Chains A and B, each alone.
Chain A
Amino acid sequence: MALRDDFPILKREVNGYPLIYLDNAATTQKPQVVLDAMNAYYMSSNSNVHRAVHTLAGEATEGYESCRTRLKEWFNADRAVITSGTTEAINLVAHAWGRANLTAGDAIVLTEMEHHSDIVPWQMLAEERGVELRYVPVLEDFTLDMEAYAASLDGAKLVCVVHTSNVLGVRNPLEEIIELAHGNGSLVLIDAAQGVPHERIDFKHSKADFMAFSAHKMCGPTGIGALLIDGDVFETMQPFMGGGDMIETVTVNGSTFQNNEHKFEAGTPRIAEAVGWCAAFDWLSKINLPEEHNRLIKIARWVSEQLRSMGISVYGRHDEKDSAVVSFLHPKIHSEDLAHLFDSRGIAVRTGHHCAQPLLHRLGISGTVRASFYLYNTMDEAEKFVEQLKLITERFG
């Protein structure tokens, strides 16, 4: 598989075995071009952005701002605020939009499928402002209860929903969710952390008002992400963090703020990471994402069928639009023990609650083992994963 050669880390061994990296829902590996771009930035252009007039500052600014341009092009968005990741992007909405637009008695609709990063900021805001939080239940087939969702909209100012579950891989019916929300006059925030790696999303076409995601789950660097904002909604938001770079003027009596994305980007931004993310977009643009998605979901479906045939509980449905995530529980081997045993054979999987405790509570479990596949994973690796699971089951089950 040619594209595997672009990832130097895939050549390493772990505990004497070739690495099989199946923790992609947590973070993806980085192609050489991303590493090279970040290294080249520090080697030849490192400087601070925006203010200075010298050559290096110009190059740094160009590198940083071209990430914003790339984001707007890739996702077809008017406004792209660069953040530290999905979590900061959602917190930014809670502070910059929520505080300016929500008062006691307003409601926010969340789902039981949300990652903690799309629950906790709203709980904090709800406590501060007396806002009501409503949770859409997850049904036994691992989908959202859309009837309950429709019924929950009355009086809701905002709907926050995960694009694709990091635990189940289920891709939610966003088109219907957004249409119903807008019909009710509610804005919609999409947590697309697990969506953007697998699906080329057109933000304007989706009609969502906010979309949050991270670079590191789509072959980019850690520590950087973005919040896409509808142009009109952008104007209703107030600055969140104060500091350098977000102001127009500062006097001892007060400050005025920039009126573009910079007003939400106080302080020195993540310049090298932005340069690296641009390289990741360039690399991804050469990949046929729909074709790869089809290949990966077939692998995930095959793995889940194998696991079920071994008497293992699999949480997810693996429909064609879902992500290639296989969450499961072994009937006899504790998840953490299993993850350590996999690691002893070079296979990286994740265990625990995956920062989605309300979802696991709904499923009646406290954690799962999660194998998540991405562009560089092969059917051969999936077969080795299943083979090792069989051997581990024979020896320890």
Chain B
Amino acid sequence: MTYPAELTELIEEFQDVDDKMERLEMVFDLSDEVIPLPPSAWTQESKVHGCQSEAHVKVELQDGKVILLSGADAKLVQGLMGILSIAINGTAPAQALLLSPDFAEEMGILNSLSPSRSNGFRNMFDKVMRDIRMLV
């Protein structure tokens, strides 16, 4: 699949790194990319189920473009949210909905994560896509 240029670049950066701790650190650093959804705004509606830790997402449309707000208590989850934000923020809903979650696998992130975390990422991705569909 073809990804937005910024995401393609990110995938290549991850693929160049062999050390798992370094890859994890790169994911941690990407937590800065999220538009925060503060814990005070965490609700049952925003909760991502299937994550071992607390993870919350909220999708809004601003001028017809997707904006993902997110928050989590684990840095790794925040980093995954950051990657998803890079992929979909500022895009039209129709374009965001074309995104495949495979990018996480191509970055070697899913391989470096436990099955429950991988499922958590998938659950987060699916929830964001579901929320986008509900807005359009």
Contact = CB atoms under 8 A, between A and B. Distances in A.
A340 B76 contact: yes
Contacts of B21: 341, 344-345
B30 to A, nearest CB: 13
B25 A396 contact: yes
A340 B52 contact: no
Given A337-B28, A337-B74, A344 B19 contact: yes
Nearest to B72: A334
Contact of B117 (A336, A345, A367): A336
A341 B24 contact: yes
Most buried by A among B53, B112, B113: B53
A343 B21 CA distance: 9
Contact of B24 (A16, A344, A351): A344
A343 B20 contact: yes
B73 A334 contact: yes
A344 B73 contact: no
Size bracket of the A interface: 10 to 19
Contacts of B49: none
Interface residues of B, number: 17
B75 interface: yes
Contacts of A337: 24, 28, 74-76
Contacts of A396: 25, 28, 75
A15 interface: yes
Contacts of A173: none
A340 B113 contact: yes
Interface string B42-63: 0000000000110000000000
A362 B19 CA distance: 39
Contacts of B76: 334, 336-337, 340
A344 B111 CA distance: 12
Contacts of A351: 52
Contacts of B28: 337, 396
A385 to B, nearest CB: 15
Interface string B99-115: 00000000000001110
A32 to B, nearest CB: 27
Contacts of B19: 16, 344
Interface of B: 19-21, 24-25, 28, 52-53, 73-77, 112-114, 117
